A and B are shown apart, each in its own frame.
Chain A
Amino acid sequence: MALKQWTRRAALIAALAATTGLTALAPAPATAQTPPGVLIVGQIAEPKALDPAAVTAVNDFRILMNLYDGLVRYKDGTLEVEPALATEWQISEDGTEYTFTLREGVTFHDGSAFDAEAVKFNFDRMLNEDHPYHDTGPFPLAFFFSAVEEVTVVDPQTVKFTLNAPYAPFLSNLAYPTGLIVSPAAVEQHGADFGRNPSGTGAFTFAEWRSNEAVVVEANPDYWDGAPDLQAVVFRPITDANTRTAEMLAGGIDLMVEVPPVSLSEFQGDGYTLHEQAGPHVWFLILNAKEGPFAEKAVRQAANYAVNKTALVENVLEGTAEVAAGPTPPAFAWAYNESLEPYPYDPDKARDLLAEAGMEAPEVTFYVTEGGSGMLDPIAMGTAIQADLEAVGFDVSIETYEWNTFLGNVNPGLEGKADMAEMAWMTNDPDTLPYLALRTDAWPDAGGFNSGYYSNPEVDRLLEEARVATDQDTRAELYKEMQEIVQEDAPWVFVANWKQNAVTSDRVENFTLQPSFFLLLDDVVKN
């Protein structure tokens, strides 16, 4: 009996030890540092695919830009294009023919040659529904190249794009990830699985994708633009921002993107470098110019004066954004009108404008989103904006929606539903946002994003002209004029331009963020 009892107790203790004792065994490997030469990047999500034609998220672009090249790319630190896989190009007089001379001696990671046929394959796959590999899609951003009528192989090193009409953003669209060139041989080999077996010409070659754990890429020693210093890069998806911060603090990652504003103070010390870079992003409020109080220009201007943008940017966003002056982000330096001053915070002026318009406590329904791409801290911002507007006499009621529901409400237009909605855009060309969201022909029923029904024939004309002008200086003048008119008309409340941020550990050198928001790692060194 005694023995039996003893064995029972022993079994119980053993069970306890097995469960708690493991705790004591485990710790050793946790403190192991990441190996030198291998950069570990904390990403915000698992990528969808590594096929540049098939994805839409900045998160995926961050990996893709290191695996592939396009015909052109953005010059370091700018949003202006420079040669990449194409060494030079000619644009025909009428702006509808682009002839590219391709770089010689470049091969894809799978060994196949990069030539004009490969370029043609890429665009035909995306745009031509009869192409044998069109079914490796869908290609949601193919409309970036909807102006392309035909791609012609002139000779192995020369390729010609024929457009159905002059389209100025064509070159910067080629620099966008959707224009990155994939290996036709790899697409033919892997078919729909190409997105998990990518092959490009970039600085890094694909090594391994462990679902929900990591994408591993290794240095391409034969890279045409010089082999990278790093041996490998590991992209880890860590969706929760607090967990990402903790990983950075614990040394589990070397580089972290999208640091939440509240965590910035954790990285003030010597062990870390904080990087910031304003990008082609604008955060604004769409005002319903068709009906309700904001049909009056004076009331729209009043809202612009009433919102304390400096306080939003400094307090709510902890300095991770700058006050926006107009519809075009300053990151498009060549097209940005430097003379624009943001609407100052002037509640008295706002009250005067309201009084002049004969508005007494105008009622405003305000759509706020819970999150979403580029929306920063939409609930806190929405609440602060509500308080500012109420302080000058508006009567604001907020309706909050989850992001996709929100888009489903806002994109079809605000008419009959709301007077004001939060919105943010990140684009790659100064044409995109105003063309899609400020023209009369971009009202929702015409298939655009002008959800507030702004209409000014002069703005329409400027945007149409800028789109077909191929000379960059001419385009710049047109955009600058457009910005002045739009700022005066105030179809939106212009709020903020987001500064993308990242933190690197003190072992990482030569890292800079790009205004494109892409992550370029070919020059980075890790000690």
Chain B
Amino acid sequence: MGRYIVKRLISAIPVLFGITLIVFLIMAMIPGDPATAILGSYATPENVAKLNRDLGLDAPLWQRYFIWLGNMLTGDFGQSFALNRPVLDEVLERFQATLILAGTAFVLCSVFGIIAGVISAANQYGFADKAITFVVLLGISIPSFFLGMMMILWFSVNLRWFPVSGMWPIYGDRDLGALLSHLTLPAIALAVVATGVVARLSRSAMLEVLRQDYIRTARAKGVHERGVIWRHALRAAMVSIIPVLGIQAGFVLSGAVYIEIVFQWPGVGRMLVDAILTRDILLVQGGVVFVAACYVLFNIAVDVAQSLLDPRIKT
């Protein structure tokens, strides 16, 4: 197992290099530059050239790439133009917020998705199955940003149960209760679509398993139906559900961008959108590389978890 993990980690290195190259080239190729974005109306060629020089953007492309890569290997992600602070400080702070939001949404979608899928499969074509399928379809069809806005309108503006936006209260203690009251709406809005997807796939994975001979055997030898479903079938179905969860983690992470904008959540998604619009090159590059690295590591973790459940997968 240890060797397997090491092998996977080594294979991730070229992937990460590829990511640095791609994100660097994309930022170099898109039209518009940081100096123009900063100067706005006053971006004369003369002013732009001077500011580019001040920002260190007048070096040749390849030179800038290797300087950036070299600095990054020593832990220096550079300075954000638009925020005037170290990229790494900003990314770490923002990623923490995203992790709280996306992590909660991921737990919600995994727990409720699997439960709904299992109940659906256990009552195939029954009332519960139909009701769940209907709700799931509804959930998958609502764009998360729209759901988020509607939730704000209803629960925050009309009922005033939850704060509209942000992660912490402007005044008052920063305790768990304060965090939860800010987290509830965005986490639910973010989890809904993923919950639907997980529910659908869990249902079909369960149905597949429930047709197997050993399930019939288990039933025949008198195992209680709940035991058959939750212990025998679900455990086997998890082998095909876990990779789906891995993919959903990616969806939740990218879906967080919309939710962070709607709920003004100080996360890494909103940071990247702002950074792209202001052509804050180093912040975009640093942010993307960091998030991509986390995603790669997460996928390795998923593969390892899967191989633990099903030893045949290990290569």
Q: Do A and B bind each other?
A: yes
Binding site for B on A (CB under 8 A): 5, 8, 12, 15-16, 19, 22-23, 25-32, 34-35, 38, 40, 45-46, 48-49, 54, 56-57, 137-138, 140-141, 143, 192, 195-196, 211-214, 234, 236-240, 242-243, 246-247, 249-252, 373-374, 401-405, 407-409, 411-412, 425-427, 436, 444, 447-449
For the complex of A and B, list the 9 residue pairs with the smallest distance between their C-beta atoms, beginning with the closest: A404-B32, A212-B266, A138-B54, A26-B181, A27-B161, A405-B31, A49-B84, A31-B160, A247-B164
CA distance in complex: A23, B181 (Å): 7
Given A195-B84, A402-B32, A404-B277: A238 and B165 within 8 A (CB)? yes
- State whether A32 and B41 are in contact (beta carbons under 8 Å apart), knowing that A239-B261, A240-B261, A405-B32 are contacts in the complex: no
Contact of A373 with B41 at beta-carbon distance under 8 Å, contacts A19-B108, A138-B51 already known: yes
Query: Quick check: is B163 within 8 A (CB to CB) of the other chain?
Result: yes
**Complex-state Cα separation, A214 to B38, whole angstroms:** 22
Which residues from chain A contact B157 at a C-beta distance below 8 Å?
A: 246, 249-250
How many of chain B's residues touch chain A, expressed as a range?
Answer: 35 or more
For residue B47, CB closer than 8 A to chain A, the reply is yes
Q: A140 vs B274: C-alpha distance in the bound complex, in angstroms?
A: 20
Chain B 145-185, CB-CB to A under 8 Å as 1, else 0, gives 00001001100110011111111111110000110110010
Measured between beta carbons, the chain A residues less than 8 angstroms from B77 are none
Q: Does B60 contact A (CB under 8 A)?
A: no
Which B residues contact A (CB, under 8 angstroms)? Answer: 30-33, 35-47, 51, 54-55, 82-85, 90, 93-94, 107-108, 111-112, 115, 149, 152-153, 156-157, 160-172, 177-178, 180-181, 184, 224, 226-227, 230, 261-264, 266, 270-271, 274, 277, 279
Residues of B contacting A5 in the complex (Cβ-Cβ under 8 angstroms): 224, 226-227
In the assembled complex, how far is the CB of residue A35 from the closest CB belonging to chain B, in whole angstroms?
6
The verdict on A138 contacting B84 (CB below 8 Å), with A26-B177, A250-B156, A448-B44 known, is no
Determine whether the beta carbon of B164 is less than 8 Å from that of A26: no
Q: What CA separation (Å) do A57 and B278 show in the bound complex?
A: 12
A35 to B170, CA, bound (A): 10
B263 near A243: Cβ-Cβ < 8 Å = yes
Check B82–A138 contact: CB distance below 8 A: no
Q: Is the CB of B180 within 8 A of A34?
A: no
The contact of A252 among B30, B40, B165, by CB within 8 Å, is B165
Q: Is there an interface contact between B44 and A56, defined as CB atoms closer than 8 Å? A: no
28 residue pairs A–B, Cβ–Cβ below 8 Å: A15-B111, A26-B181, A26-B184, A27-B161, A27-B181, A29-B172, A30-B181, A35-B171, A46-B274, A48-B83, A57-B40, A138-B51, A211-B93, A213-B170, A213-B266, A214-B170, A243-B261, A246-B152, A247-B164, A249-B157, A373-B41, A402-B32, A404-B36, A405-B30, A407-B43, A408-B33, A409-B31, A449-B41
A232 CB to nearest chain B CB (Å): 10
Q: How far is the CA of A192 from the CA of B170 in the complex (A)?
A: 27
CB-CB < 8 A to B167: which residues of A?
A: 213
Contact A447 B46 (CB under 8 A): yes
- Chain A residues with Cβ under 8 A from B226's Cβ? 5
Closest to A372 in B: B40
CA distance A46 to B31 in the complex (A): 24
Contact of A407 among B32, B54, B161, B262 (CB under 8 A): B32
